[in-house]
């Protein structure tokens, strides 16, 4: 079930209260989206599927046009996540690390939504949650841009559920910076920030352990944001690929509710693809009896899925989210 912005807030609240985190996978292709949904179904876990600019502009979606890519992504998730097979999986669609001159156009489309015709009727489908890339922004620019998104959503009569980030690769975010970012947004647009992504000592990419990572910073951040906003806001952890299993699991228990996962996911998928082409090399001869089934897109995609899906489900369980999908949906339908 594709969650709307308000249901997504409830989902984050459920994760925070029950001390688990939701895996947020950057999915590059239609096959990757299917694999992530399958893993969530298997683990009975809620899931966040997210797209950065490169997925929206990539071959599988916008082929250079990010707004078209967003519409295609939303339509795909609305059809898949609301269909029979994944109806019991809470699915959040998040726009992640949107940057550059098209930022406002892309996020306006995400907040306003696109028309999608479904078996249950035509509907406006919106991104569940949004965030932008703050790495090249000053704090004032970051605040101004988040406020602008809140204004665009309000003008469209749409709720905005926003993840606000510091530049996480710069190292642990000091409390004064958290105040400088969160407080002015809260003063001008109370109740739009529902995720906080401070630097926690991890970095984007495939890190090899993070000696600077400390779990106690998580609780400190949650407490500070509660003081600034008056509500319970969980954290988003960027750069999780190089973090060890024990730290990830402890982070989820301590107040991280969203764990972004991209680099390691790419490594797993590309490694499986490489093994496919190496192991099946003789079958690429057109005279081979299994040639056609080997060279179809479905050949490599199914091979990757068999190796990738169990690893995704395993990571969801590591974050404590196994079984939490039905538990959360039960609270919505009560």
Beta carbon nearer to Zn ion, 76 or 133 = 133
Q: Report, in Å, the least distance between residue 204 CB and Zn ion.
A: 6
Residue at shortest CB range from Zn ion: 238
Q: Report, in Å, the least distance between residue 135 CB and Zn ion.
A: 9
Beta carbon nearer to Zn ion, 126 or 238 = 238
Which residue intervals of the chain are DSSP H helices? 5-17, 30-43, 53-56, 66-81, 103-112, 139-155, 175-188, 216-229, 245-254, 263-279, 291-295, 297-318, 324-333
Beta carbon nearer to Zn ion, 41 or 217 = 217
Half-sphere exposure of 224 (CA within 13 A, CB side): 22
Q: Report, in Å, the least distance between residue 236 CB and Zn ion.
A: 8
Q: Report, in Å, the least distance between residue 156 CB and Zn ion.
A: 26
CA-wise closest residue to 131 among 163, 154, 92, 168? 163
**Could you tell me which residues come within 8 angstroms of residue 285 by beta carbon, excluding any fewer than 6 positions away?**
291
Half-sphere exposure of 160 (CA within 13 A, CB side): 31
Q: Which residues form the interface with Zn ion (CB under 5 A)?
A: 238, 260
Q: Report, in Å, the least distance between residue 29 CB and Zn ion.
A: 19
Beta carbon nearer to Zn ion, 76 or 96 = 96
Beta carbon nearer to Zn ion, 9 or 238 = 238
Beta carbon nearer to Zn ion, 94 or 317 = 94
Q: How far apart are CA 173 and CA 12, in angstroms?
A: 22
Three-class SS of residue 308?
Answer: helix
Look-up of token digits 């779990």: 215
Q: Report, in Å, the least distance between residue 217 CB and Zn ion.
A: 17
The tokens for 200 are 């926690």
């Amino acid at each position: 079930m594709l969650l709307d912005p308000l249901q997504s807030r409830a989902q984050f609240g459920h994760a925070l209260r029950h001390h688990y985190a939701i895996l947020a996978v950057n999915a590059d292709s239609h096959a990757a989206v299917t694999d992530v949904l399958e893993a969530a179904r298997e683990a009975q876990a809620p899931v966040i599927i997210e797209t950065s600019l490169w997925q929206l502009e990539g071959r599988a979606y916008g082929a250079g046009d990010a707004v078209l890519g967003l519409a295609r992504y939303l339509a795909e998730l609305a059809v898949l996540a609301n269909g029979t097979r994944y109806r019991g999986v809470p699915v959040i669609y998040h726009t992640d690390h949107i940057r550059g001159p098209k930022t406002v156009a892309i996020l306006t489309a995400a907040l306003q939504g696109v028309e999608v015709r479904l078996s249950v009727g035509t509907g406006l489908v919106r991104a569940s949650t949004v965030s932008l890339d703050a790495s090249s922004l000053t704090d004032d620019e970051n605040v101004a841009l988040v406020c602008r998104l809140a204004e665009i959503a309000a003008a469209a009569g749409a709720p905005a559920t926003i993840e606000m980030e510091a530049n996480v690769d710069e190292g642990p975010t000091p409390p004064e910076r958290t105040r400088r970012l969160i407080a002015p947004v809260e003063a001008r647009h109370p109740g739009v920030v529902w995720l906080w992504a401070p630097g926690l000592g991890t970095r984007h990419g495939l890190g090899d352990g993070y000696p600077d990572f400390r779990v106690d910073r998580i609780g400190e951040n949650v407490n500070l944001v509660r003081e600034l906003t008056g509500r319970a806001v969980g954290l988003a952890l960027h750069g999780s690929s190089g973090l060890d299993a024990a730290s990830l699991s402890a982070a989820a228990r301590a107040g991280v509710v969203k764990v972004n996962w991209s680099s390691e996911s790419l490594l797993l998928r590309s490694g499986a693809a490489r093994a496919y082409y190496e192991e099946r090399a003789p079958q690429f001869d057109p005279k081979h009896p299994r040639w056609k089934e080997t060279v179809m897109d479905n050949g490599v995609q199914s091979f990757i899925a068999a190796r990738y899906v169990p690893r995704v489900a395993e990571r969801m369980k590591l974050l404590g989210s196994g079984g939490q999908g039905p538990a959360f949906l039960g609270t919505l339908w009560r």
